[in-house]
């Protein structure tokens, strides 16, 4: 039994979907925070707008944010430190073609 999903209508009005999920092509995206933070468990979140713009210029198709705000000291990673939807709004103003989304909800 073959199963397929018809996304033709959805792709027509969702440019992010169309560029990220390209049939017969591999696309690459990034997960924020897109910086190293060697001096502690919390990223500075500085220059992220510039980095998303650079990712767009370099041909990356998507930037994904974590949807969970967490800071578990034993884990060593603060994760997403901004509300993902407010942060997506800020990034959307500064980007043009790159798809923006949350990694999971």
CB 62 within 8 A of CB 27: yes
Query: Where exactly are the structural domains of the chain?
Result: 8-102
Q: Which residue has the higher pLDDT, 68 or 23?
A: 23
| Percent of the chain with pLDDT strictly greater than 90 | 10
Tokens 């650079």 sit at which residue?
54
pLDDT at 101: 87
Which residues, other chains included, contact 23 with Cβ-Cβ below 8 Å and sequence gap of 6+?
none
Q: Which residue has the higher pLDDT, 68 or 94?
A: 94
> If you average pLDDT over residues 30-54, what whole number do you get?
77
Helix (H) or strand (E) holding 76: none
42-27-52-74 Cα dihedral, nearest 10 degrees:
0
pLDDT at 80: 56
* Pick from 54-58, 76-80, 95-99: least confident: 76-80
CB 61 within 8 A of CB 98: yes
> Is the pLDDT reported for residue 13 higher than 70?
no
pLDDT at 6: 60
φ, ψ at 67 (rounded to 5°): -95, 0
> Is the pLDDT reported for residue 12 higher than 70?
no
> Is the pLDDT reported for residue 73 higher than 80?
no
């Amino acid at each position: 039994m073959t199963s397929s999903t018809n996304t033709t209508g959805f792709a027509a009005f969702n440019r992010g979907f169309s560029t990220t999920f390209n049939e017969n092509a591999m696309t690459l995206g990034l997960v924020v925070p897109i910086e190293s933070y060697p001096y502690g468990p919390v990223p500075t979140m500085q220059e992220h707008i510039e980095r998303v713009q650079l990712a767009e210029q370099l041909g990356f198709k998507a930037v994904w944010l974590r949807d969970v705000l967490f800071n578990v000291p034993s884990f060593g990673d603060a994760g997403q430190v901004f509300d993902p939807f407010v942060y997506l709004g800020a990034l959307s103003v500064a980007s043009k073609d790159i798809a923006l989304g949350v990694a999971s909800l």
